[in-house]
Structure 1
């Protein structure tokens, strides 16, 4: 018999124990799916891991990543999260932990070694887990965070790739079908550049049907196109435990909203306009919605202003009664509320790399290289072609940067020094942003900001 803390759907709201609930929490980014800008090293997840294996050997590299994964989030991290009053944790993972591309018919146990432990920690602290396939076979969008090495969203071009992802989800659902502290499954993170609506909707229909063969209990989240912001091609689903998720990064299209020069009321107006467009999917599908991601890159000299921006975004979530997940819990002092201290081996190591490489310049450089290629060898191109091509150019740039910036620095390390890098993410070697702590507590626990 199911306990009363299972998260269910009633109308346009989530509920647990017969009462409405807002899911408020963090994402566990750059854990089971590495992200270069969050770590301070170039490359996609696979490129980074291949570089470590090439320099130190497969066995040593495997021991390093095992140490990284186990130390990144433990009992102390969950006690800290609980002290902030959050009740949910979105857990991104790379499909490669569960599937060998050379033997896609066989599910690997490796992923469950790490995922079981985190799910158990969530349950022990009454924190709901939401599992998120952040990197799907072939890449569900053209960007680094889905571990694509092509810059193309090939996931939507090949049914065999989608079937592989569904196979992973069915195994996960079968594993956790009786775990009430998993709120649901976020089937694929930030689809983008999807041109085939039939393939898009067919994936969700098939995935939902396969999951329901083994698991009738958990919510399944459906995303939109354009990095989970465009729902024009998304069909409604009859399954009573389907909900919808969007991501909210309004500054991507309008960077001016981050400027201290913009009046706060004007920024709030622009935020509200964009947010209400996304929140409207609640009425469109007559289902609850969840903001699965939003966040900022934190800068010490701008922290007071940035906390104000975050406060305005959180106010929108709360005013509209929309569940939210802040990106992210921990990283190398980029978007996380927790981060390794400046004197840790990881920060010292990546500080040297950052002198040569900066992810935030990647997009601009990619666009310049595409423009140069077009003007030098062809004719100028418009934005409809320029936009997707810069993603493909960036994968070439990442491959070069791994060779020229990551591997040379890895070769300077002893095995002992390598292992100490992983320990930098242990809670006792980390600091946190007190300003963000107060902001989150102010919402989750009703504590006023000082």
Structure 2
């Protein structure tokens, strides 16, 4: 749970059952001290925005929400009732019915998805009027957005009949304008476009660059973002494992479904090779499940739709089966995470049904690999899967703990870390249940103008609490443009020292 969404999350849990007696670590006494290799095999644009720089019209990627204001009426294009009928232009303020999601076909051509998940298109009865009635876009639901070279927010929208949309009245929007070379304020075919909520995930970058450029861009990224030297650095700085987020399309490498591109499997094979060389364990983690388990771009979603459910269980298990079969005999494989951050809107029964099937898939190939089951994002009760997980052997319950709900150092320390997060870790750590794991945490916070010493105190406090998790913890993440999110930067600059008995050495303060 990261980017803007992370500020909504307050230690993942709103209510927690009473703390229980702490269980021992794994049977061999080993506790994971890991770092996530986030943004590598599953793209998260907020971690490395420069990856998207060369995409034409990069502000108009899949899932971006847009609004169109008529230049002549000063009112917004709107899907009446949110969809299912005609398009109008009678609203002064833009809300849900006046906001559309883009499905990108190429840099200038798009489908426009309305609030009710239908698509704007030409009315089949006359081929001129605009409606939003189709659940699946075809030719009639395809539009070109042409931008003014001097003002790219001033646009015309060209329909598949070759004509431009124009607003004739508040109740009449048609595709029958021929347009002209001028962009005057009295032209009803001109709109002011506002692009909101940009999406920057794997779907957006691969579809944005297209089938020719995307393979080149992604393979260069996979070959340079994480390299062998990073594994050596990780191993020599007090860490014993890497948690590697992956996407479902990796199971179909080298020819995954479009727009995804092949090559990430080779990178993962290299990761296992380097982990073995430097004595690191590998924690595989399905970050992006088929259909998207939480609707965020980081889960491979095209437009924010949460498409994972009962029908997704079988194809998701197939991905887990692929991973288990491929790496079960590798000495570095330590665990397989069945799914990252399933949404609260997915029922616990559906998640448990999948977790049971995913566990069986791993066990068909390995009796020793741990199986990690994540809590639902924003679940009120973080212990909801404890009784279920307790039925299985070598199972881990994963919670993600970010601390962003206070603005002062002491409030974060006392209210978040030493109270709330400690309660969460205690709640999921039982004497007879699954092992507990803090799969994501960071030493970034919302405290303004925090000093280096305060960051050190914050990191140390979290380490004290998360070291009590019986499976261990994993920092988010190894590399990041946001320096405090990057464990590599934090170690190199003396904010965290995991090789010392005290994680913050006095000499570095």
For the aligned pair, the TM-score class normalised by the smaller chain equals: 0.5 to 0.7
The CA deviation at 1:275 is: 2.8
Selected match of 1:35 from 8, 33, 44: 44
| Distance in 2 between residues matched to 1:21 and 1:229, nearest whole Å | 30
| Distance in 1 between residues matched to 2:378 and 2:37, nearest whole Å | 18
Task: Give yes or no for the alignment of 1:280 onto 2:430.
Answer: no
2:132 match: none
1:206 match: 357
2:283 match: 130
Task: Give yes or no for the alignment of 1:289 onto 2:436.
Answer: yes
| Distance in 2 between residues matched to 1:187 and 1:75, nearest whole Å | 26
| Distance in 2 between residues matched to 1:13 and 1:241, nearest whole Å | 13
Selected match of 2:450 from 275, 279, 302: 302
**Does structure 2 retain, via aligned residues, the 8 Å contact 1:250–1:271?**
no
Structure 1 pair 141–32 and aligned structure 2 pair: CA distance change class (3 A): same
Mapping for residues 422-437 of structure 1, pairs under 5 Å: 433-437=492-496
Mapping for residues 178-257 of structure 1, pairs under 5 Å: 178-226=329-377, 230-234=381-385, 235-251=388-404, 255-256=405-406
| Distance in 2 between residues matched to 1:97 and 1:195, nearest whole Å | 24
The CA deviation at 1:326 is: 0.3
Mapping for residues 18-417 of structure 1, pairs under 5 Å: 19-40=28-49, 42=198, 43-53=200-210, 58-99=211-252, 110-156=263-309, 158-159=310-311, 161-226=312-377, 230-234=381-385, 235-251=388-404, 255-256=405-406, 258-260=407-409, 262=410, 266-267=414-415, 271-283=418-430, 286-297=433-444, 302-304=450-452, 305-319=454-468, 323-334=472-483, 335-338=485-488
Structure 1 pair 447–119 and aligned structure 2 pair: CA distance change class (3 A): farther
SS of aligned partner of 2:389: coil
Structure 1 pair 279–194 and aligned structure 2 pair: CA distance change class (3 A): farther
Which structure's relative contact order is higher, taking Cα pairs within 8 Å and 6+ residues apart? Answer: 1
Give unmatched runs, 5+ long, in structure 2: 1-21, 53-197
| Distance in 2 between residues matched to 1:59 and 1:87, nearest whole Å | 39
| Distance in 1 between residues matched to 2:399 and 2:379, nearest whole Å | 5
| Distance in 2 between residues matched to 1:120 and 1:228, nearest whole Å | 37
Structure 1 pair 20–152 and aligned structure 2 pair: CA distance change class (3 A): same
Structure 1 pair 82–448 and aligned structure 2 pair: CA distance change class (3 A): farther
Give unmatched runs, 5+ long, in structure 1: 1-10, 340-430
| Distance in 2 between residues matched to 1:329 and 1:114, nearest whole Å | 16
Structure 1 pair 213–61 and aligned structure 2 pair: CA distance change class (3 A): same
**Between structures 1 and 2, the one with greater helix share:** 1
SS of aligned partner of 1:338: helix
Structure 1 pair 332–171 and aligned structure 2 pair: CA distance change class (3 A): same
SS of aligned partner of 2:286: strand
SS of aligned partner of 1:183: strand
The CA deviation at 1:51 is: 1.4
Structure 1 pair 449–285 and aligned structure 2 pair: CA distance change class (3 A): farther
**Between structures 1 and 2, the one with greater strand share:** 2
**Does structure 1 retain, via aligned residues, the 8 Å contact 2:383–2:428?**
no
The CA deviation at 1:59 is: 3.4
TM-score, reference length from structure 2? 0.59
| Distance in 2 between residues matched to 1:109 and 1:177, nearest whole Å | 22
Which is worse superposed, 31-40 or 146-155? 146-155
**Does structure 1 retain, via aligned residues, the 8 Å contact 2:243–2:283?**
yes
The CA deviation at 1:277 is: 2.7
Structure 1 pair 446–127 and aligned structure 2 pair: CA distance change class (3 A): farther
| Distance in 1 between residues matched to 2:41 and 2:281, nearest whole Å | 18
